Copies of this chain bind each other. A is one copy, B any other.
């Protein structure tokens, strides 16, 4: 009995959810996907599936609160953006948000106004209406956002459809957000302000998600929230396959390369393990490479291949030796 967990900090989030819900089955036949993917899927109006996702951001766990309003605004943006990204990862378009705000009584009214302003601006930008919420007193600032969206029937992309021989793609650049966080933690925001911006104001890939979903070429997709080395294994485990990542193909921005040169950091490691880029990780047909990118974005970058053997591997270039790609995920309750 010595390895029986006693308190929550002995469990990862995945382990906790498994304990609480592994035996759970929804009753309603309208439910297509329940707990376990980026969003739930339920049959909605004719020809459409309803997608719902929820995320909770807690002070000190997910962010460090600053009284500067620019940060409050960014925090409001981000709390909504991470949920929008979950809907994008299923190929859907978001439409309605519900916001639970738990707020310390000592917080300045102007800070809460800035936070909600950030949320409202993000909502407007992505065509989302804020339709409800709850505000309560708490010791830590906590933002619980639930977002509803929809996707055409037959177009929702889950994480469990990857097949051996599929190719692996990503949108945009990897590692920028982690570099931006590094700058913020060092108190530096001016030199690499674009990287800081990428961390503070992620731009979920809704338009790309819609292009990918309606192309019919993708078999599995999720958004990169914890970093490629943590998120790619989720697709592999759900699909019961493995993956090989070509590190030399990872898309990295000019800013990230300059940043890493200056800080003497390895850009590969930032791109492999850095979290919160909120780019899409897409698995499917090689023809995904030909999709016409939405305005303001560039083509998908092919970064690897799905294989039959379970496990996630990395190599440098086609001739490189295969080494295991270790997940550098974090334990939420530790």
Contact = CB atoms under 8 A, between A and B. Distances in A.
Contacts of A46: 45-46
Contact of A136 (B31, B56, B135): B56
Interface string A26-64: 111011001100011010111000001111111011100
Contact of A58 (B19, B27, B138): B138
Interface centre among A13, A20, A333, A334 (most CB of B within 10 A): A20
B139 A26 contact: no
A326 B332 CA distance: 46
* Chief secondary structure at chain A's binding surface: mixed
Given A6-B109, A10-B109, A55 B138 contact: no
Number of copies: 2
A104 to B, nearest CB: 7
Contact of A131 (B40, B44, B113): B40
Interface residues of A, number: 76
A4 B269 CA distance: 49
Contacts of A95: 28, 30
Contacts of A40: 96, 98, 131-132
Given A54-B146, A56-B144, A129 B6 contact: no
A148 B53 CA distance: 12
Interface string A298-313: 0000000000000000
Nearest to A51: B132
B137 A140 contact: no
A113 B34 contact: no
Nearest to A133: B54
A46 B48 CA distance: 12
A44 B42 contact: no
13 contacts: A6-B108, A7-B108, A7-B109, A19-B109, A21-B116, A26-B131, A27-B124, A28-B95, A30-B95, A53-B98, A58-B136, A58-B138, A136-B332
Interface of A: 5-11, 13, 16-17, 19-21, 24, 26-28, 30-31, 34-35, 39-40, 42, 44-46, 52-58, 60-62, 95-96, 98-109, 112-113, 116, 120, 124, 127, 129-140, 142, 144, 146, 148, 332-334
